[in-house]
Amino acid sequence: MASALAFVDDTRQLVAADNGLYVRTVHDGRLTMVVPLEGDNPATRSNDGRAHPSGTFWIGTMGRRAELGAGAIYAFCAGELTRLFASITIPNAICFSPEGAIGYFADTGSNVLYRVPLDPATGLPTGVPQVLNAHSGPGGLDGAVVDAEGRIWCAIWGGACLHAYSPQGELVRRVAVPARQPSCPVFVGADFRRMLVTSAFESMDTTARAADAHHGRTFLLDVGATGRPEPRVRLGAA
């Protein structure tokens, strides 16, 4: 059960799955485990993840039934997996400031977006997380990405929109998405001026799907912002 992917190089990707991190070779799809990820706990699975500019990869875990506090956030850095934060219900919105000095993440279970200071050279915390924004409107904080100006673009699951937050936590933009459950944005294109947004129809019955004609589709949006290329993951210490 895979949930996140990042590039290693042009021929390999790092895939986060329910029991570990795997290297996937692009030409044949072959998977080779790099390190277990709560492989001894069948009650959890991987969820949101993203690469830091240093090459460190952050990945979150959660209970398969979103059990309260069953998840955590880890960093895969220089070939080693380290747990950063525990007792998280649904880890989401993992992303980083352009220079790599700030990390962001959310717990959708509490609908709180956090910021934490990082060492830009390693992508590891140098302080404790602080609340950046407590979401109180419809829907929940899901996947997120940071644009070139440092704004945090977060999918609002159940809210049919994206929210853009300033680095200070102020809601500065709201962009509608044609599906009720958008799940994660990413900037795309040669100049990273467009955005792909995924959506999902998890927990939607037949009636809910009929009312949400675009459920589960991926959308290409023009949001008036410019992104950055996704960093590549560093597998080892070198």
Question: Catalytic amino acids?
Answer: 142
Distance CA 180, CA 208 (A): 10
C-beta neighbour count of 52 within 10 angstroms:
27
**The residue to which tokens 């904080």 are assigned:** 141
What is the b/e burial string over 109-128, where b = at least 16 CB atoms within 10 angstroms of the residue's CB?
bbbbbbbbebebebbbbeee
Question: Which is nearest to 176 in space by CA: 159, 199, 157?
Answer: 159
Structure tokens at 133: 């924004």
